[in-house]
Amino acid sequence: MKYPVNEIFETIQGEGSMTGIPSIFIRLQGCPVGCSWCDTKHTWEVKPELQVDVSQIISVSNESENWAQMTSQDLLAQVLKYQARHIVITGGEPCLYDLTELTQVLHDAGCTTQIETSGTFEVKTHADTYVTVSPKVNMKGGYQILTSALNRADEIKHPVATEQHIDDLNALLAKREENRKISICLQPISQKKRATELAIQTCIKNNWRLSVQMHKYLAID
Ligand code: SF4
């Protein structure tokens, strides 16, 4: 299995229940979901003419549309050059790809894995992968949030700016089977004051968590 990789970098997980954990981020190229506020629009398309050598994408956080094809073993070799052993596979939309082999290889090497997905594609990972679903409802691409993804989630991290977003989340939660312990995090969109206040009030009311995208406040990648 080969994966189109946009970048690999080591940092601190800045969002959700895993906030603060040293992590290696593997960002895969490709996402058809079309969120208007997306801050990684450079990952949307896998353009054949922008395929580059692996050496050109490693540690490049410059929002390039370039991508390199890497196998699970290529990715493991790169991961082992860093210190962190928590691996976050993100995108783009990582669930465009079958991540079973990659997450298995990483777990076999002693790593923990986490994926961050919109929930619009089937989740295929190692059974122990921590799955963060950040549902993107009614986006331009027209994809529905899959109930199977909601049921597989260990964490639902929901972007919030208006009451409608809370209603959307409650509608999604009503679809879930109550058979898995789950953490629910509200994340104010674009750090706006009104969105943050709404998220705080809703978290307190429901005993949910607030996720504030710590890396943006710290101005790190
Ligand atoms: S799902 Fe993620 S990568 Fe895709 S458009 Fe939405 S925010 Fe961007």
Q: pLDDT tens, 90-128?
A: 999 999 999 999 999 999 999 999 999 999 999 999 999
Q: pLDDT tens, 37-91?
A: 898 999 999 999 999 999 888 766 678 999 999 999 999 999 999 999 999 999 9
Task: Give the residue whose CA is nearest to atom 6 of ligand 1.
Answer: 35
CA distance 118 to 26: 16
**Which atom of ligand 1 is the closest one to the Cα of 37?**
7
Q: Is the CB of 93 under 6 A from ligand 1?
A: yes
Domain locations in the chain as residue ranges:
2-159
Task: Give the residue whose CA is nearest to atom 8 of ligand 1.
Answer: 38
Rounded to 5°, angle at Cα 79 from 118 and 25: 30
Task: Judge whether 117 and 131 are in contact, CB under 8 Å.
Answer: yes
Q: Which residues contact 36 (CB under 8 A, 6 or more apart)?
A: 139, 140
* Cα–ligand 1 centroid distance for 33 (angstroms): 6
* Cα–ligand 1 centroid distance for 106 (angstroms): 24
Task: Judge whether 210 and 195 are in contact, CB under 8 Å.
Answer: no
Ligand 1 pocket, mutate which of 28, 29, 40 (most atoms under 8 A from CB) = 40
DSSP string computed for 148-205: HHHHH-SEEEEEESSHHHHHHHHHHHHHS-S-S--EEEEEEGGG-HHHHHHHHHHHHH
Nearest to 118 by CA among 87, 82, 81, 159: 159
Q: Is the CB of 116 under 6 A from ligand 1?
A: no
pLDDT bin (cut points 50, 70, 90) of residue 20 is very high
* Cα–ligand 1 centroid distance for 3 (angstroms): 18
Q: pLDDT tens, 176-204?
A: 997 788 999 999 987 778 889 999 999 99
* Cα–ligand 1 centroid distance for 14 (angstroms): 17
Task: Judge whether 185 and 213 are in contact, CB under 8 Å.
Answer: no
CA dihedral sign of residues 179, 162, 89, 121: positive
Q: Is the domain defined by 2-159 classed in CATH 3.20.20.70?
A: yes
* Cα–ligand 1 centroid distance for 93 (angstroms): 7
